[in-house]
Structure 1
């Protein structure tokens, strides 16, 4: 199952990318948007890590730890998706000429 380590690595790289993007921008709305995107990446990381952990070890303790990570990952992913949609719509509302391009 090489797919889960690849997905774990990609989601960790995107999480770091969006956290660095927060530091580079001065606009508060863009910072919140990038933070929401980083939440999505963190949620994906936790979900993929939980699945990979259980598939690798297949023990009862790995199942319980994986379930905890899975729940936290789903919460992060859900919150991040909602915030991303909200801040994207807010940016389109505040910048109507740039949103059409």
Structure 2
């Protein structure tokens, strides 16, 4: 399947983009927001990589490794979504006019 390598590359590119955006930003809240967005991208990278590895090899060991990667990626995405929501609400609270 070609869809998983495309999703892996997109999530890796977005991860690098958000990490570079952290370096460009001076505001601490914005940096933490970008870091949480990069964690979502890292989690999706690990998640899709785990699925892709199982579909590519179709062995029992790749199934176990894929399950571990899917669980780690899911946790990273969940934690990233929670942090992104929190920092977005904090930014709106501190900047009500924008």
- Note whether the superposition's TM-score is higher than 0.5: yes
TM-score by length of 1: 0.96
Compute the displacement of 1:91 (Å).
Answer: 0.1
Compute the displacement of 1:82 (Å).
Answer: 0.3
Structure 2 segments unaligned to the other structure (5+ residues): none
* Corresponding residue for residue 54 of structure 1: 54
Compute the displacement of 1:3 (Å).
Answer: 0.3
Mapped to 2, the partners of 1:21 and 1:69 lie a distance apart of 26
TM-score by length of 2: 0.99
Aligned alpha-carbon RMSD (Å): 0.4
Compute the displacement of 1:56 (Å).
Answer: 0.3
Number of aligned pairs?
A: 98
* Corresponding residue for residue 77 of structure 2: 77
Structure 1 segments unaligned to the other structure (5+ residues): none
* Corresponding residue for residue 18 of structure 2: 18
Compute the displacement of 1:80 (Å).
Answer: 0.1
